[in-house]
Amino acid sequence: MCSPFAFLPSELILSVFALAATHRPTACALSLVSTWVHTHVEPVLYHTVSLPSTKSLTAFLATLSAKPDKFAKERVKHLSIMALGPIDSIEEVLSRCAGVTSLACGFSVPSYVHCARGVSAVDSDYASHYKLAVSPTEQHLLGRLTCRDGLDMSIISPTVTHLRIQITSETTPESLTHLLDLQNLTNLAIIYRNDLVGGAQHIRALLDPVLGMGRLKVLLLQVAGTGNEKHLQQIDDWNTTVVTNADTSSLLNPARVPDWRIVAERAPRIPLRQWQDGNVWDNAEGTVLEREKRGGFVVPRATLGTRT
């Protein structure tokens, strides 16, 4: 029996393969069908690469060594490195994948910064201190070792527009003010445990300078742990300090002006999976847009986790 694909135009066949290959197990299976199919499925296979362990990091480097030099730069666009090392292997992967637009880091930032070579090709005021060999527009610092000692700007791309970091007990207000150097930053997500870093007022004090720079469109607060109902409600109150019948004098009071950009939610159980799904910002951006349409007045949360 003749294959049904024999009667279809090649463009349609490629479209079918591209759609099917978005499911990674299917993409791996398709890549084994033939050389022709493998050639057209391969870009999808390498578009998003996750390296959760030293074994996967080493295997990926071995794969790249058998590819042309430009392969990784052109193919790999989303990259997560959760492996802790070796640091020189991490640096080698980053150097090869220079075209990455979204990067998730889970390795030890202090170790990387100590060992990595400086990158001078980045056009930035702090280019001489920038350590990564890539300049993504989206970056996620995940894992307990990335922000354990506070925020190190030498690991954050000056070209970043979407950034997710963690606040710990070691995070200082001074380190967060360095975010003001990110001229293109529009979306900022922060993961923290309320029981470790203090209440809503402390978080507000930490982030006021960042909000004050006027460039942020969305500030997403992802609160980890349990028993944070009161804290999340305090964040909502932070947004809704102006009541519907507020008079002009209260609207002129900065302490009572709402900030529609702030969205609070429970932190995802597996932040990396949220990055892989590509929906970190969707709900927050939709919430802010809806608030703006309604004049900034937010309907109170009926149950924990419900966003307006």
Buried b (16+ CB within 10 A) or exposed e, 97-124: bebbebbbbbbbbeebbeebeebeebeb
CA 126/CA 144 separation, integer angstroms: 25
Structure confidence at residue 150 (pLDDT)? 80
Distances (CA, A) of 39 to 59, 68, 168: 20, 14, 45
**pLDDT tens by residue, 133-157:** 889 999 999 987 888 778 888 899 9
Closest CA to 52 of 24, 82, 91: 82
Candidate ranges 119-123, 125-129, 190-194; pick with highest mean pLDDT: 190-194
- Provide the pLDDT for residue 114: 80
65 has pLDDT over 70? yes
2-28: string of b/e by CB count within 10 Å (b at 16+)? Answer: eeeeeeeeeeeeeeebeeebeeeeebe
- E strand or H helix that includes residue 251: helix 248-251
∠ CA 209-213-214 to the nearest 5 degrees? 130
Tokens in use for 268? 């995802």
- Which residues fall within 8 angstroms of residue 215, CB to CB, at 6 or more apart? 183, 185, 186
Residue 242 has a pLDDT of 41
Residue 186 contacts residue 159 (beta carbons within 8 Å):
no
CA separation for the pair 265, 261 (Å, rounded): 13
Residue 33 CA to its chain's centroid (Å): 34
Q: Is-contact 180 156, C-beta < 8 A? A: no
pLDDT surpasses 80 at 172 = yes
What is the share, in percent, of the chain residues with pLDDT greater than 70?
73
Write b or e for each residue in 282-304: b if 16 or more Cβ atoms lie within 10 A of its Cβ, otherwise e.
eebbebbeebeeeeeebeebeee
Secondary structure percentages of the chain, helix, strand, coil, to 5: 45, 15, 45
Residue 299: pLDDT above 70?
no
